[in-house]
Amino acid sequence: MNHTIAPLYAALCAYERNRHISLHVPGHKDGNVFDKEADNHFYSILKIDATEVSGLDDLHHPAEVIAEAQEMAADAFGAAETFFLIGGSTAGNLAAALTLCAPGDTILVQRNAHKSIFNGLLLAGARPVFITPYTEPDTQVATGISATHVKVALKKYPSAKAVWITNPNYYGMGQNVAEIAEACHQAGIPLIVDEAHGAHFSQALNVPDSALKAGADLVVQSTHKMLPAMTMASMLHIQGTRIPREKLKRVLSMIQSSSPSYPLMASLDVARRYLVTKGRKQLVATVEKLEQARLDLTRKLEYLFIWSEIDGKTVYTRDPLKWVLTSRHFNVTGYQLLEWLEEMGIVAEMADLRNVVLVFPIHNEVTQIEKVINAVLQLEKKLANMPGERRTRNRTNAFFTRPGRLVKPSISLQEAFHFHKKRVPLEQAIGWCSAEMVIPYPPGVPLLVPGEKITEEHVNIIQEIKWAGGYFQGTSDETVEEIFVLVSL
């Protein structure tokens, strides 16, 4: 396939060249009716912010340039069929849930999933059974599950419609997807993979295998996260015969805008072209440079730590484009590290209680890596000079305990959503079932989902995150001093 062309983007360029009098939407009329003071940023993009006029195909009915662009993406990512998402990976996850689950259906779901997976299950009226993940010991980050966990779960819940995992996690830690896929296929059900953070997987020999290569049936990738598409532009890939394609197409048309953004779609088209024609080579070189830099740097660190250990159990793969920088100083949180880095002109991806995550681009300048190394060394010095102790391992305060444990909430997410609720102070909520999602953000993995019983440990973790400067999504009270709980009538 000739990946030097970008058919959808080319069609938009042709649209611009052959401009007519627009008596159709959008209201900005190719940018002619617009706030001139904002033209600096918007002028050139509005020329291709088109709608479904002839020659530009239709996302919900693709037959021409969008179909072609999607086929080229499928080729580049190793899918049988690829769908452009203009609602982000959120749209992909909602679509997966609605395609695979009717109300009341059982589905096995890795518990440390992005909130959009829980929301999809809620919308579908599914009855998820959660599989508790491992926790990586140095960083205290929830990772993945194992094929054995899946086999045990499938024995207990043979009516499960699918297994849904998240790989890699937000920190670039991965699990053995191929073995899990095999376990699913032996049971005759599909494996769904939220690969939001792994759009670059399998695109070079020195990054982990993609979920599609490992045999997954439906895969959602945030093309805007690790590859250069516009924010909110993602892809959904499928292969094999286990996914009902017609139903999937109907669901995607249902939950995505009927006025899809052409710049977002075109950015997927050019991101694919860029990846294949240049990005793959750049990725190899970037990873080589980063690995060397990380090794050199690690030797010089005592109060900081860059995670890298793959033990084959709690972690099976590592994304070399991500550095998880962990504080070993008792008095320094990941939030604090993030703040200090920002003061040094380096904006990190996210932080939690212990760690800060740096996301490197697929194309990297050596000078930039050097700046990052210098900043980390400065941080190391800062921590060494601070009062307080150094720990070799973080104390255990993991979100999720007992890997492989199956949790089936007594009430579905949808029932909980419509159930009667009352608001109580957080401390008084212990023993009640939560009526809200409590989502430390980032990473966006819910600590509590509706229907789960609130424990003292939950309250402790919430207070620790708050105290350390983290914040929450999903709750009606953003300070989480009060929380809605489920009450019977």
For residues 226 and 203, is the Cβ–Cβ distance under 8 A? no
H-type alpha helices, 164-261: 177-186, 223-226, 245-255
Residues 361 and 286 sit within 8 Å (Cβ to Cβ)? yes
489 touching a second copy, by CB under 8 A: no
289 is a site residue for a second copy (CB under 8 A): no
* Nearer to a second copy among residue 181 and residue 357 (C-beta): 357
- Backbone angles phi and psi of 117, in degrees to 5: -70, -45
- Which distant-in-sequence residues (6+ apart) come within 8 Å of 363 by Cβ? 278, 279, 282, 283, 286
- What are the angstrom distances between the C-alpha of 203 and each of 16, 50, 212, 292, 410? 33, 31, 12, 20, 42
Using rule CB under 8 A, residue 451 touches a second copy = no
R_g (Cα) of the chain, nearest Å: 23
Comparison of 334 and 403: residue with beta carbon closer to a second copy: 334
Q: How far is the CB of 479 from a second copy (least distance, A)?
A: 11
Residue 224 binds to a second copy (criterion: CB under 8 A): yes
Write the DSSP string, 411-424.
S-HHHHHHS-EEEE
Q: Are 357 and 171 in contact (CB under 8 A)?
A: yes
In the complex, the smallest distance separating the C-beta of residue 104 from a second copy, rounded to whole angstroms, is 10
* Residue 21 binds a second copy, judged by CB under 8 A: yes
Residues 293-312 that bind a second copy (CB under 8 A): none
Enumerate residues 407-446 that contact a second copy by CB under 8 A. 414, 418, 436, 441, 444
Stretch that binds a second copy, among 115-123, 126-134, 393-401, 426-434 (CB under 8 A): 115-123
Member of 2, 40, 385, 488 binding a second copy (CB under 8 A): 40
**Within positions 258 to 287, which residues make up the interface with a second copy, using CB under 8 A?**
258-264, 266-267, 270-271, 273-274
Q: Which stretch binds a second copy (CB under 8 A): 15-23, 181-189, 289-297, 460-468?
A: 15-23
d(Cα 405, Cα 414) in Å, to the nearest integer? Answer: 23
Q: Decide: is 479 part of the binding site for a second copy (CB under 8 A).
A: no
Confirm or reject binding of residue 368 to a second copy (CB under 8 A).
yes
What's the min distance (Å) between Cβ of 9 and a second copy?
6
CA dihedral 239, 243, 245, 251 (to 10 degrees): -120
What letter represents residue 207's amino acid?
A: V
Binding residues for a second copy, total number by CB under 8 A: 114
Residue with tokens 């983007």: 9
Beta-strand pair 472-473/135-136: unpaired
CB atoms within 10 A of CB 272: 27
Between 258 and 428, CB nearer to a second copy = 258
Q: Does 34 bind a second copy (CB under 8 A)?
A: yes
**In this chain, which stretch among 69-77, 326-334, 347-355, 426-434 interacts with a second copy, using CB under 8 A?**
347-355
- Residue 448 touches a second copy, criterion: CB under 8 A: no
Smaller CB distance to a second copy: residue 90 or 167? 90
Pick one of 9, 201, 307, 400: the residue that binds a second copy (CB under 8 A).
Answer: 9
Cis peptide before 443 (omega within 30 of 0): yes
Residue with tokens 């890298």: 308
* Choice between 94 and 465, CB closer to a second copy: 94
Cα distance between residue 57 and residue 50, in whole Å: 11
Asked if 240 touches a second copy (CB under 8 A), the answer is: no
Among 67, 178, 471, 482, binds a second copy (CB under 8 A): 471
* CB of residue 176 to a second copy, shortest distance in Å: 26
> Binding of a second copy at residue 466 (CB under 8 A)?
no
The residues that bridge with 218 in the sheet, in sequence order, are 192, 238
Q: How far is the CB of 482 from a second copy (least distance, A)?
A: 12
> Scanning residues 146 to 205, which ones bind a second copy (CB under 8 A)?
199
| Residues 67, 82: Cα–Cα separation, whole Å | 9
| Residue selected from 56, 122, 181, 383 as contacting a second copy according to rule CB under 8 A | 122
Secondary structure E strands in 405-469: 406-407, 421-425, 439-440
> Based on CB atoms, which residue is closest to a second copy, 20 or 155?
20
Instruction: Give residue 384's identity as a one-letter amino acid code.
Output: A
Q: Is 241 in the site for a second copy (CB under 8 A)?
A: no
Given candidates 231, 292, 397, 401, which one binds a second copy under the rule CB under 8 A?
A: 231
Residue among 91, 107, 418 at smallest CA distance from 232: 91
Output the smallest distance, CB 12 to a second copy, in A: 8
List Cα–Cα distances, 5 to 19, 69, 179, in angstroms: 22, 9, 36
CB of 419: closest distance to a second copy in angstroms? 10
Token pair in block for residue 306: 């860059």
Residues 49-108 that bind a second copy (CB under 8 A): 49-51, 53-54, 58, 60-61, 63, 86-91, 94, 98, 102-103
The pair phi, psi for residue 464, each rounded to 5°, is -65, -45
